[in-house]
Amino acid sequence: MPNLNGNLIARAVAQNRFALDDIPDHEMTLSAFVSEPNVSDENWKGVRMTFWGSRDLVQGFGPIRGYFVNEHPSGDRDCGSYDGHITVNNGQRTMEGTWRYTHGSGKFASISGNGRFQGRMLSPTEVEMSWQGNYQLAAGTRVA
């Protein structure tokens, strides 16, 4: 399986935050982010990444979950999901977790793979992330 790694800075294009009344400092956020990541593999050069996610935080800590779509210049797509956790250390919110491919189209129709990510929140509407993992395409599909 080819290795894949990359990094990005993404900005929210939509975001809804909800303060909950059940316990102190409980907040839920639904967001959509976009980015053009730097990726190590030629198959991902020029992609536009969109990811949608939720944060369920108590005093800044809690789970994150969501989905991503990479739109390739050819029009092909690869899609997946992620799960992780946000923590706070010295006032800085950091995140880490796992991701996996769920499906794709065109060249990426048979994609499978997974990996890990880590990052930090630069602001409530901006994140910096890096990831690593691996992927596999169907036999006979050219992998750059």
A 10 A CB-CB count for 87 gives 12
Q: How confident is the model at residue 140 (pLDDT cuts 50, 70, 90)?
A: low
Q: What is the pLDDT of residues 81-106, one digit of tens each?
A: 999 999 999 989 999 999 999 999 99
Structure-token match 């997974």, residue found: 114
Are residues 119 and 129 in contact, defined by beta-carbon separation less than 8 angstroms? yes
Q: What is the pLDDT of residues 59-78, one digit of tens each?
A: 999 999 999 999 999 999 99
pTM over 0.75: yes
Strands 26-35 and 77-89: unpaired
* Whether pLDDT at 141 is above 70: no
Contacts with 36 (C-beta within 8 Å, 6 or more apart), sequence order: 8, 46, 47, 48, 49
Domain residue spans in the chain?
A: 3-136
Over the chain, what is the mean pLDDT? 94
* Whether pLDDT at 121 is above 70: yes
Q: From CA 108, how far away is CA 143, in angstroms rounded?
A: 10
Q: What distances in angstroms separate CA 140 from CA 81, 107, 144, one per listed residue? A: 26, 10, 12
* Whether pLDDT at 143 is above 90: no
Give the tokens for residue 115.
């990996």
Q: How confident is the model at residue 1 (pLDDT cuts 50, 70, 90)?
A: confident
A 10 A CB-CB count for 25 gives 11
Q: From CA 15, how far away is CA 5, in angstroms rounded?
A: 27
> How confident is the model over 120-127, as a mean pLDDT?
92
Residues comprising the chain, all counted: 144
Architecture field, domain 3-136:
Beta Barrel (2.40)
